[in-house]
Amino acid sequence: MAITNGKSTGMVSLLFLYLFAAFAGILYALKQVTFQEVDALVYREQSRQWAELLSSFCRSRNGLPLNRENSIKELPPMGFPGSPDQFQIRVKTWQRGVQLRMEYASLHRLNRGLLMDGARYEIRPVGKNLEVEYPVGQIRDKNSGLGLLGMSAVDFAHAITSPMPPQARLEQPLEPYLYQTPSRKPITYTKAVLRGSGVLVPQGALTFSNGFRVEGDFRIYCGGSLTLGEGVYMDKVLLYSAGAMKIGKNSHINGIIVSDGIVELGENVTYTEDRSVLQPFLTRYLL
């Protein structure tokens, strides 16, 4: 039936306009969502390319010696297909105190700033003259009359590091990174096996409980006291504590023992000196 009433015609027109506006709004919203999804996909793909670019460079540097001179080097700018932006990797090498030498790699989008960064380290034992400060065949501590070595926590304060591994993480071998915790909260590892390699720098007290085993290549620089329970076995490890060190009975240490506190040895503790752990430890890149 045809509509001839003017009032009815006006209402239909208003209804049509309302539906049209609503439909247009829905289309606009869908369009915006689509654009946002496309932008997100593009950003994710670009992020993947950035990560792969810097990761590939860092993997190629792992294991190579650090430059002996402080320097900043810039690689030639490069681009990705379909992107007008130019990217550049910069590498800075410098000494941080006595113990740390750092190689810092950063990826920049030219004229827009930093995108990603990472670092690796060459970590030396505490002290400057290893032949004098780590006398052959001796356990050096506060009573040795050789003075304090004095590890400086400041050297590690702004380093790019992994956190100290939690107990559950010890089920898997550690990668050769620098691990530390900024707090002085005590850490205790219960009976387990620490495998792999790495440099552990707890700022507070550290305890390895009875029967703990360390198998691999580790440097442990403890900013507080260091306690090893009974029957602890450690192979190829440098143990340093700023505070007292206590090693429980029937334990075996292969490596170097040194402390700025007093070292207390339990009954039947065996110690085999391995001076190879006095060599600088080279970590992998951590991004």
Query: pLDDT per position in the chain (287 positions), as tens?
Result: 444 555 555 554 655 555 555 555 555 554 554 545 544 454 465 566 777 889 999 999 999 999 989 999 999 998 877 778 888 999 999 998 888 999 999 999 888 889 899 999 999 998 877 777 888 888 999 998 888 888 877 778 788 899 999 998 888 999 999 999 878 899 999 988 999 999 999 999 999 999 999 999 999 999 999 999 999 999 999 999 999 999 999 999 999 999 999 999 999 999 999 999 999 999 999 99
Strand extents, DSSP E, 27-168: 71-74, 87-96, 100-109, 113-123, 162-163
Which one-letter amino acid corresponds to residue 134?
Y
Listed in sequence order, the DSSP H helices in 62-185 are 130-133, 154-157
What's the pLDDT score for residue 152? 74
What's the pLDDT score for residue 171? 80
Q: Where are the domains of the chain?
A: 8-123, 130-282
**Helix, strand, or coil here: 134?**
coil
What's the pLDDT score for residue 18? 54
CB-based contact 255:274 (threshold 8 Å): yes
CB atoms inside a 10 Å sphere around CB 82: 8
CB-based contact 262:143 (threshold 8 Å): yes
What's the pLDDT score for residue 166? 92
CB-based contact 247:266 (threshold 8 Å): yes
Please state, in angstroms and rounded to a whole number, the distance separating the CA atoms of residues 187 and 185.
7
CB-based contact 54:107 (threshold 8 Å): yes
Please state, in angstroms and rounded to a whole number, the distance separating the CA atoms of residues 175 and 234.
17
Three-state SS for 187-239 is EEECCCEEEEEEEEEECCCEEECCCCEEEEEEEEEECCCEEECCCCEEEEEEE
Cα 230 off chain centre by: 31
**Helix, strand, or coil here: 71?**
strand
